[in-house]
């Protein structure tokens, strides 16, 4: 159920793409939280929240103008990615006896929906209770995916200033779907150095280990005794780009990030079975340095269309895909 009807919502022009398509920015405010969302790529441009002294700062890595988002094609700053977040091995999968070849954009594999995924589309927008709802039709065959997909993503602010993202979709032919939001978080403030050292907890007793191409091996590796054990809070280190298998029966949020300096706390609750932890070690200082933010991507597992042992990402006609993730903000 979407709450948050008390949020202030406004919209403004944000610029035009190189092809002349206009883009708008929506600003949502409630209970100390201010979020800005672009119709280009469903991008969360900024999330401003207070520290323990009441000083508000932007904790999401974003860019100041539209040209920047067109130029940076790899980091997916704040974007809504799909149709399939994460990787599809060999840029192909079989569904109902038919092989579908999708666009490879990471070597021989596909990542985050291909060359022109959801992150590079301009979404139609309309005001929703407490926020904005973005809508998009992905035609049959786009980036190789079957089925005409009608997709929506509602960004709303709940009471207390939590950001809720609710995805919905239907299709006219069997397809696969795995959207996520790709915001990078730094609770000290965007552009204020590395996010390493901030304390992270993830309610996950296993990960899906990967090979040299960052594709899952099909195994489930217990985290106990490894650097992947975040079941109790520990300081975040570098070199993570891994899917955590969330504990289905765990109480409360599935993840929590804490910055001792500011006192800010980010909690993540989701209906999804997995969380991809990514520390962005490759950032080169243009405009952010290595590990300037950490992505906590709620999603199904990578390469699930080729892994029958993983939870299914198949969507069929007559079904509705519904997924919700809530980012809560507090201090201590």
What are the pLDDT digits (tens) for 90-137? 999 999 999 999 999 999 999 999 999 999 999 999 999 999 999 999
- Is 250 a residue whose pLDDT tops 90? no
Q: Give the residue numbers marked as catalytic.
A: 182, 297
Percent of the chain whose pLDDT exceeds 70? 98
- Is 165 a residue whose pLDDT tops 80? yes
251 versus 305: the higher-pLDDT residue is 305
- Is 3 a residue whose pLDDT tops 50? no
3-state SS record for the chain = CCCCCCCEEEEEEEEECCCCCEEEEEEEEECCEEEEEECECCCEEEEEEECCCCCEEECECCCCCHHHHHHCCCCCCCCEECCECCEEHHHEEEECCEEEECCCCECCEEECCCCCCHHHCECEEEEECCEEEEEEEECCCHHHCCCCEEEEEEEEECCCCCEEEEEEEEECCCEECECEECCEECCCCCCCCCCCCCEEEECEEEEECECCCCCECCCCEECCCCCCCCCCCEECCCCCEEEEEECCCCCCCCEEEECCCCCEEEEEEECCCEEEEECCCCCCCCCCCCCCCEEEEEECCCCHHHCCCCCCCEECCCCCEEEEEEEEEEEC
pTM: 0.96
Sign of the alpha-carbon torsion through 245, 217, 293, 106? negative
Percent of the chain whose pLDDT exceeds 90? 95
- Is 48 a residue whose pLDDT tops 80? yes
Which pLDDT score, from 0 to 100, does residue 28 have? 98
179-185: average pLDDT? 98
Confidence of residue 74 (pLDDT cuts 50, 70, 90): confident
- Is 268 a residue whose pLDDT tops 80? yes
Per-chain mean pLDDT for the chain: 96
- Is 303 a residue whose pLDDT tops 90? yes
Confidence of residue 251 (pLDDT cuts 50, 70, 90): low
- Is 72 a residue whose pLDDT tops 90? no
Structure tokens at 192: 């204020």
222-247: average pLDDT? 98
Of the candidates 18, 116, 13, the one whose C-alpha atom is nearest the C-alpha of residue 67 is 18
- Is 2 a residue whose pLDDT tops 50? no
């Amino acid at each position: 159920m979407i709450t948050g009807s008390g949020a202030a919502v406004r919209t403004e022009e944000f610029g035009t793409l190189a092809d002349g398509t206009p883009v708008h920015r929506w600003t949502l405010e409630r209970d100390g939280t201010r979020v800005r969302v672009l119709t280009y790529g469903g991008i969360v441009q900024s999330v401003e929240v207070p520290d323990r002294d009441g000083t508000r700062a932007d904790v999401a890595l974003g860019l100041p103008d539209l040209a920047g988002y067109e130029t940076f094609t790899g980091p997916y700053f704040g974007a809504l990615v799909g149709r399939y977040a994460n990787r599809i091995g060999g840029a192909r999968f079989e569904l109902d006896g038919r092989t579908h070849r999708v666009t490879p954009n990471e070597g021989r594999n596909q990542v985050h929906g291909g060359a022109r995924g959801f992150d590079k589309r301009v979404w139609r927008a309309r005001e929703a209770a407490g926020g904005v709802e973005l809508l998009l039709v992905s035609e049959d065959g786009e980036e190789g995916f079957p089925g005409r997909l009608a997709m929506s993503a509602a960004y709303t602010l709940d009471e207390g200033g939590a950001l809720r993202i609710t995805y919905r979709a239907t299709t006219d032919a069997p397809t696969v779907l795995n959207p996520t939001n790709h915001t990078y978080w730094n609770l000290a403030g965007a552009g204020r150095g590395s996010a390493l050292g901030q304390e992270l907890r993830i309610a996950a007793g296993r990960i899906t280990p990967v090979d040299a191409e960052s594709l899952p091996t099909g195994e489930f590796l217990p985290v106990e005794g490894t650097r992947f054990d975040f079941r109790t809070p520990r300081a975040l280190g570098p070199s993570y780009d891994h899917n955590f298998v969330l504990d289905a029966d765990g109480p409360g949020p599935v993840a929590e990030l804490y910055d001792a300096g500011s006192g800010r706390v980010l909690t993540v609750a989701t209906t999804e079975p997995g969380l991809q932890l990514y520390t962005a070690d490759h950032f080169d200082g243009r405009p952010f340095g290595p590990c300037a933010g950490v992505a906590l991507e709620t999603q199904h597992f990578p390469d699930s269309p080729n892994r029958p042992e993983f939870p299914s990402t198949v969507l069929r006609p007559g079904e509705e895909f519904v997924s919700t993730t809530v980012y809560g903000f507090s201090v201590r």
